[in-house]
């Protein structure tokens, strides 16, 4: 194995270990989003799992289920968007250096 290939393999292992650590940390981090002025709150973790959904009882109107559905959809969608952005930023910190250290690998 050439010296360059050995270095590449070391860097790949290091990046893989770093990514596993970040994924573990992200699993306990959460993102929260609300809709309807705080009437509906959704919390999503870094594993893209819906952790909780809170609905203010005052917004529960059997005659207007569509509004409640829209509020839930908006809050959950925004919480997932924020979670994905958080994951992307954290993983980007790891992978950005990898391309610089290995010129030509990701072009």
Question: Is residue 52 assigned to a domain?
Answer: yes
Are the beta carbons of 81 and 58 closer than 8 angstroms? no
Residue 39 sits in a domain of what CATH number? 3.30.1310.10
Question: Could you list the residue range(s) of the whole structural domain that residue 79 is in?
Answer: 3-101
pTM of the model: 0.75
Q: How many helices (H) and strands (E) does the chain have?
A: 2, 3
pLDDT of residue 107: 31
pLDDT at residue 97 is higher than 70: no
Domain contains 48: yes
What total of structural domains would you count in the chain?
1
**Cα–Cα distance for residue pair 22/6, rounded to 1 Å:** 24
Determine, yes or no, domain membership for 39. yes
Residue 41 located in a structural domain: yes
Q: In which band, very low, low, confident or very high, does the pLDDT at 32 lie, cut at 50, 70 and 90?
A: very high
Domain contains 106: no
């Amino acid at each position: 194995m050439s010296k360059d290939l050995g270095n590449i393999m070391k860097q790949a292992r290091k990046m893989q270990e770093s990514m596993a650590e970040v994924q573990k940390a992200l699993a306990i981090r959460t993102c929260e989003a609300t809709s309807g002025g705080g009437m509906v709150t959704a919390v999503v973790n870094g594993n893209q799992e819906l952790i909780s959904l809170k609905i203010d009882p005052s917004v529960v109107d059997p005659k207007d289920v569509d509004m409640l559905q829209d509020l839930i959809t908006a809050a959950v969608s925004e919480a997932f968007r924020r979670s994905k952005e958080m994951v992307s930023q954290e993983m980007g910190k790891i992978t950005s250096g990898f391309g610089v250290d290995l010129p030509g690998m990701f072009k």
